[in-house]
């Protein structure tokens, strides 16, 4: 998504390092490209961890591409927020085109000779445009987002075990949060959904000790 911020810390580097061995094992077992998901609650560090994982794979001589769940929302971000205010039941996996994410991840894995046209969100403009991922043989397709554990095509699932209460400071630093009282309602709904996904993870990254400290 254009307009998002990344604030990479030691936690994100360590999280990527924890997920990397599972990705490498899967590559060795199958000899094929791997789809790896990085999931967790809002502010848990999914985007940063995905980028750190991509960098580690590059250091290992592996090519990777990242798909961001934020680009696959059915509505652009500000419009989506307004729809949530109008109907709070809109909050959840149904907001996201998970089927399209899965199809695109599989296409990048199985059809490296074909370009892929995917959605691209412009946050400030509140628009959904497109971008093209050029043909290449990817060794890993990294798919990051809070609901990506649900993708049936995933080969390795990583989960950042940090709750929205623990990561409030990180979320505020990204300067994307609307009115906080309503946001807390949204995050509570997401929390109740996402915490159930932890059980299907191959790698669970624990929260850093400093989370929640004053």
pLDDT tens string, the chain, 214 residues long: the values are: 666 677 899 999 999 999 999 999 999 999 999 999 999 999 899 999 999 999 999 999 999 999 999 999 999 999 999 999 999 999 999 999 999 999 999 999 999 999 999 999 999 999 999 999 999 999 999 999 999 999 999 999 999 999 988 876 655 665 555 567 898 899 999 999 999 999 999 999 999 877 755 4
Task: Give the pair of three-digit tokens for residue 170.
Answer: 């990180």
Task: Give the pair of three-digit tokens for residue 207.
Answer: 């929260």
CA distance 206 to 46: 13
For the chain, the DSSP string reads -BT------HHHHHHHHHHHHHHHHHHHHHSS-EEEEEEESTTSSHHHHHHHHHHHHHHTT--EEEEEGGGGBSS-HHHHHHHHHH-GGG-SGGGB-HHHHHHHHHHHHH-TTS-EEEEEEETTTTEEEEEEEPP---SEEEEESTTGGG-TT-SEEEEEE--TTTTHHHHHHHT----HHHHHHHHHHHHHHHGGGGGG-SEEEEPPTTTT--
Q: What is the pLDDT of residue 214?
A: 43
Q: Which domains does the chain have, with CATH numbers?
A: 10-206 (3.40.50.300)
Q: What is the pLDDT of residue 66?
A: 98
CA distance 48 to 56: 12
Report field, pTM of the whole predicted structure over 0.75: yes
Q: What is the pLDDT of residue 180?
A: 75
Quote the Cα angle for 58-198-34, to 5°: 30
Residues 6+ apart with CB under 8 A from 130: 117, 118, 119, 120
- Beta bridge partners, 60, equal none
Count of C-beta atoms within a 10 Å radius of residue 17: 14
CA distance 66 to 115: 15
Quick one: CA torsion of 149, 50, 52, 17, rounded to 10 degrees? 10
What pairing do the DSSP bridges indicate for beta strands 127-133 and 116-122?
antiparallel
């Amino acid at each position: 998504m254009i307009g998002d911020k990344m604030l990479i810390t030691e936690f994100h580097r360590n999280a990527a390092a924890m997920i990397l061995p599972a990705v490498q094992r899967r590559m060795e077992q199958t000899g094929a490209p791997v789809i790896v998901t990085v999931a967790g609650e809002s502010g848990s560090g999914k985007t940063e961890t995905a980028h750190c994982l991509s960098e580690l794979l590059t250091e290992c001589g592996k090519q990777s591409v990242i798909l961001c769940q934020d680009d696959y929302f059915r509505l652009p971000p500000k419009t989506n927020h307004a729809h949530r205010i109008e109907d709070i039941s809109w909050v959840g996996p149904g907001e996201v085109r998970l089927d399209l994410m899965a199809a695109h991840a599989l296409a990048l894995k199985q059809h490296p000779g074909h370009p892929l046209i995917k959605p691209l969100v412009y946050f400030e403009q509140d628009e959904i445009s497109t971008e093209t991922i050029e043909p290449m043989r990817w060794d890993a397709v990294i798919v990051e987002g809070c609901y990506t554990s649900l993708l049936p095509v995933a080969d390795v699932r990583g989960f950042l075990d940090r709750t929205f209460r623990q990561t409030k400071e990180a979320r505020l630093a990204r300067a994307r949060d609307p009115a906080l009282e309503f946001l807390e309602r949204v995050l509570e709904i997401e929390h109740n959904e996402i915490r159930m996904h932890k059980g299907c993870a191959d790698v669970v990254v624990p929260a850093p000790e400093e989370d929640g400290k004053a």
